[in-house]
Amino acid sequence: MDLSLHLTLVHFPIALIVSAFVFQALHLWKFHLICRTMSMWLLGLAALMSIPATLTGQKEAIYAGQAGFETIVLETLQRHELMANMTTLGSVLVVVLWIYFFLKNPHDFRVDRLALVFLGLLSGMVIFTAYLGDILSHGYGVGMPG
């Protein structure tokens, strides 16, 4: 089996969510440095890219279940899958609500501060999910060729 598509796709949502958080923090710190909607676009793209990453990850989880890994590996895989699903659903929900509240009242900057909080939570979730994925792929060899 060649390198899985999942291992290629997962890097986009990770980088985009963390970048959205960093750019939103920069925007709130110095308004003139970053466009107000840049983080919204980044999170929207991350939400779109997280869907195929999650779907290919579920396919890899089925292969891992059939490969007969130890219980600790399957428990880590289950935790990784739960966190990935929560991050995917969370990013879609946050970007939809962010767009709604932004369009409802574009001059209300409280939305920007609230978005920073949710981007921070999503960043923590995606980093923890990536950590579990690293343990699975590099520690246990799940999804790796050979």
At residue 146 the predicted structure's pLDDT band, cuts being 50, 70 and 90, is low
Distances (CA, A) of 107 to 28, 37, 98: 14, 13, 13
Note if the pTM is more than 0.95. no
Backbone CA torsion sign across 18, 24, 29, 33: positive
**Residue 3 confidence (pLDDT):** 60
pLDDT tens by residue, 109-125: 899 999 999 999 999 99
pLDDT in tens, 8-66: 899 999 999 999 999 999 999 998 888 889 999 999 999 999 999 999 999 988 888 88
At 77, which amino acid appears? Answer: L
* Helical residues (DSSP H) of the chain, grouped into ranges: 5-9, 11-29, 38-67, 71-104, 110-134
| pLDDT (tens digit per residue) in 72-85 | 999 999 999 999 99
